[in-house]
Amino acid sequence: MVPMVGKINALLDLRPSERLVVYQCCYWLMRVRRRLRQQPFQRVLEQVKRWAGSGRRVGDGTRAAGIGAQASEPDAAAELRSICGLMERCARNLPGRYSCLPQALAGYIVCTRHGHPPELRVGVARSPQAELHAHAWLEFNGEVVLGYLPDLQNYRAFEQAERLVQ
């Protein structure tokens, strides 16, 4: 019971604009994970593209000070790092397991709706034991904003995944 109280208090300590992002992250994480379990990956990517481009943009008069405020290019990267940090926090605290793929897809939706579409990357790497490992991450202006791994340079990204959400 005590951990839940701590999580609620941590949520209440956030600024209202950050709280809104947390709610968005939780919603899209759960929705994307559910779709990934129910539908083929290609179809989920098409839905992610539609979800990211539909609805009211956060910049359409709804932005609060801080997250969501009009941002220059360096500020946009900082805003995306903040959004993606909240996304990773939500993924750790929601019930169930949220791997890199639902995090990256949900992060793409939330960041795009905030007016800064990142680049979606999905790639694979071969381990020294000849096992294939897959990973999904987001980049903005060449910087990894969600899904950083120390050995990320070993992953070879598929170009087609990025084109499907553009």
Q: What is the pLDDT of residues 90-102, one digit of tens each?
A: 999 888 999 999 9
How many beta carbons lie within 10 A of that of residue 21, not counting itself? 25
For the chain, counts of helices (H) and of strands (E)? 6, 4
Q: Which residue has the higher pLDDT, 74 or 132?
A: 132
pLDDT in tens, 63-92: 433 454 455 677 888 999 999 999 999 999
Q: How far apart are CA 119 and CA 159, in angstroms?
A: 10
What is the pLDDT, as a whole number, of residue 1? 44
The whole-model pTM stands at 0.83
